[in-house]
Amino acid sequence: MLKCVIIDDELLARELLEGYLSRLDFIESVHQFGNAHDALLYLDNYEADVLFLDIEMPGMNGIDFLNRIAEAALPRTPITVFTTAYRDYAFEGFELGVIDFLLKPISYSRFIQAIEKIRDFLALKEQNARLEDLLTGDSPTSVFVKSGVQRIKLNFDTVTHIQGLKDYAIIYTTTGKIVIKGSIKAMHDIFPLNRFIRVHKSFIVAVSWISRIERNRILLNGNLVPIGRNYKDAVMAVDLRSSNPNR
C-alpha cells in the first residue's frame, strides 16, 4: 500500500494525478499541495512513499524542494517522480535521484509505466541484495550478488546499464532488474572499465549494448539514457563498430 503526495501549483494537474491514483487498489492515501512549502511542513510530520513533484512552481521550485528534503534527512525518503512541461529538467532529476520523469500532459498509460517502475523498485529493494567479490582472474566476467540466503552469479555480458538512485543502484540486465544497496560510484569501481562507461552522474552503460548515440542521450536495448555534460567527450569517443557484438 502506497502513501502518495502530489505537489503542483496547477489544480487541474493535481486532480488529474489524483484521478489516476484513485483507479489503483494499492494506494492507501493521496494528499495534494499547491506549493512546496506546505508539502515540506506535511513531510516533517507524516511519512510518504511516493512524491509526484512539479518543478516550475512559485516560491520554492521542485529542485529546491528535493534539496531541502535531502537536508532534512527524513526517516524514510519518498520515491520521487517529476511531473513537468519542460523536457530539459529530466537530466537534473536523474542527478537528484528521481526515479522517473513524466512530461505533461501525462497520459494514463505513461503514468502506469511510472507506477510499475516504482513498485518494481520497492519489491526489489526488499530483497536487500548486495554485490560480493569478483571472480578470480585478471579479466573477471561476472560478479556475485547476494540476495537473502542466495548467491546469484551476474554475468557482465547480460548487463545493459546501471542507474544510481540515492543510496541504491538499479542494475538492468537482458532478463530483468536487480536493486543493489550501494552508490553508483561503488558500481563504477566494481564493473570493468574496459566494458562499461560512466555517461552521467547517475548512469553507467555497457559499451557493447549501445545501439545509437545522439546529441544528449544513448539508446541501448530499447532504453534511453541521458548523457551528462561532463561525460559527453568520453561518450563521443566510443567506437561502436569495434565494441558492439550485441547489436
What nine digits make up the cell of 53? 513533484
Predicted confidence at residue 136, as pLDDT, reads: 45
What does each C-alpha distance from 190 to 123, 156, 163, 169, 204 come to in angstroms?
Answer: 24, 11, 14, 13, 11
Mean pLDDT (whole number) for 83-110: 82
The percent of residues in the chain predicted with pLDDT above 70, rounded, is 89
Q: Tens of pLDDT along 33-75?
A: 999 999 999 998 999 999 999 998 998 999 899 888 888 777 7
Query: 2-125 in CATH: which number?
Result: 3.40.50.2300
Give the pLDDT band (50/70/90) at residue 76. confident
Fold topology of 130-236: OB fold (Dihydrolipoamide Acetyltransferase, E2P) (2.40.50)
**Which segments of the chain does DSSP mark as H helices, in order?**
11-22, 36-43, 62-72, 89-95, 108-125, 184-190, 232-236
Q: What DSSP assignment string belongs to 147-175?
A: ETTEEEEEEGGGEEEEEEETTEEEEEESS
- Per the prediction, the chain carries an average pLDDT of 86
Angle at 176 between CA 175 and CA 181, to 5 degrees: 135
Mean pLDDT (whole number) for 94-103: 83
Residue type at position 71? E
Beta pairing partners, 6: 32, 52
In the chain, domain spans: 2-125, 130-236
Predicted confidence at residue 228, as pLDDT, reads: 87
Among residues 165, 126, 119, the alpha carbon closest in space to that of 148 is found at 126
Predicted confidence at residue 126, as pLDDT, reads: 78
- Is residue 22 a contact partner of residue 42, using CB atoms and an 8 Å limit? no
Q: Tens of pLDDT along 130-140?
A: 776 544 455 67
Predicted confidence at residue 241, as pLDDT, reads: 59
pLDDT higher than 90, residue 31: yes
Predicted confidence at residue 246, as pLDDT, reads: 57
Of 7-21, 52-66, 138-152, 213-227, where does the model show the most confidence? Answer: 7-21
Helix axes 36-43, 62-72, angle to 10 degrees: 20
Q: Tens of pLDDT along 173-218?
A: 998 888 888 888 888 888 888 899 999 989 999 999 999 898 888 9
pLDDT higher than 70, residue 240: no
Tell me the pTM.
0.74
Angle at 43 between CA 38 and CA 46, to 5 degrees: 125
Phi, psi angles (nearest 5°) of residue 17: -65, -40
